[in-house]
Amino acid sequence: MSQNQSQNGALESTCKVPYTLTLAQRMNQHDPKRYPDNPCPSCNGSGWLYEYAFEDPTGVKAGDQGCRVPCPVCYDRKHAAKNRLASGLPEELKNKTLKGFECSEPWQRQALEAAVSFAKNPERLLFLGGQSGCGKSHLAAGIIYHVSESGSQPPLYYSWPELLAAVRRSSRNWRADDVRDLVKDCRAVVVLDDFLAAPNGRPSTAALETAFEIISARTANKRPTVLASPYTAEGINGFYSVLFKKISRAAGDRLISIDPDERKDFSMAKVV
C-alpha cells in the first residue's frame, strides 16, 4: 500500500516531504520525457500536484515547506493503471474490459452478467468453469480492470500453474515470502486463472489440497475470489467432492459452468 493512502483507501495529502519552492515549481512543470503516457494538463504527468504550505508573494524562498496532493484530473486513472500493473495480469489480458466482452449467445450473456455483478459487488466467490477458449480469462481480467479503479489495494492475478510452482518454491525456502499465505490473506480480489489446469489433464492430489486450503481460508474470511477453470463445477466434483462443495456453497448463484463445446472455443479464431 502506498504511504499516501490511509487504511480505508482515502487519499490524504502528504505534507511530509519538504520541497523548496523552486523544486515545487519544477515538479509542477509538465515533463513529457519523464511521463510520456500521461499528458495531463493539470500536473506534470506524475499524478501529483505540489502545493506550498506558505505562499511567499516576494517569490522564491529556499527552504519553504511544500506538500503534494493527488492531481484531481488524473490521479484516479493513474492509480487504477498502477493497481492493474501491480496485479500481475499478463500483457495479453492487460486491456481486457467487461465492456469489451462480445456476447451473442445466452451462455455468454449469463457469464458476463455474473462477472459484472461480481465486479460491482466483489464478495464471496465467482466461479467460471468449462470450455477452454470461451472468454473466461477475458471476464476475469475485466473484473481486475474494473476493481482496480475502486479498490484501495491492488487485486491479485495468478495463473494456477504458476501459483502452484511459486507455492512449491516458497515451501522449499523458509526465507521466501509464502505465496500461499499471501493469496489466502489478500483482502482485495484474487483471480485464480486456469484454476486446477494440469498438463496431464488431471490435477494432482497435492494441487487439489492446495486449492482446498486456499479456497477454505478465503471463503472463511470473506475474501473476494474469482476462479476461472477449464473444468466445470461437476468436473471438479469428480476430482474432489469436498472442494466442489466448498466452491458451490461460496459461489451460490455466481457459479457458471459452460458445457464443453468446440464451437464455443474462440481462442484459435481471435484473441479473447
Binding site for Zn ion (CB under 5 A): 40, 42-43, 71, 73-74
Q: Which is nearer to Zn ion, 84 or 180 (CB)?
A: 84
Q: Which is nearer to Zn ion, 43 or 255 (CB)?
A: 43
Cβ at position 145, least distance to Zn ion in Å: 21
Cell of 16: 511530509
Q: Which is nearer to Zn ion, 43 or 197 (CB)?
A: 43
3-state secondary structure 97-134: CCCCCCCCCHHHHHHHHHHHHHHHCCCCEEEEEECCCC
Cell of 42: 493539470
Cβ at position 50, least distance to Zn ion in Å: 12
Cβ at position 76, least distance to Zn ion in Å: 10
Q: Which is nearer to Zn ion, 49 or 258 (CB)?
A: 49
Cβ at position 31, least distance to Zn ion in Å: 12
Query: Cell 476462479 appears where?
Result: 227
Contact 165, 180 (CB under 8 A): no
Sign of CA dihedral 257, 263, 267, 272: negative
Cβ at position 49, least distance to Zn ion in Å: 7
Q: Which is nearer to Zn ion, 44 or 108 (CB)?
A: 44
Q: Mapping DSSP to helix (H, G, I), strand (E, B) and coil, where does residue 69 land?
A: strand
Beta strand 125-130 with 156-159 is unpaired
Cβ at position 43, least distance to Zn ion in Å: 3
Rounded-to-integer distance, Cα 184 and Cα 155, Å: 13
Q: Which is nearer to Zn ion, 43 or 167 (CB)?
A: 43
- Helices 241-251 and 205-220 cross at an angle (nearest 10°) of 30
Rounded-to-integer distance, Cα 194 and Cα 231, Å: 9
Rounded-to-integer distance, Cα 241 and Cα 226, Å: 19
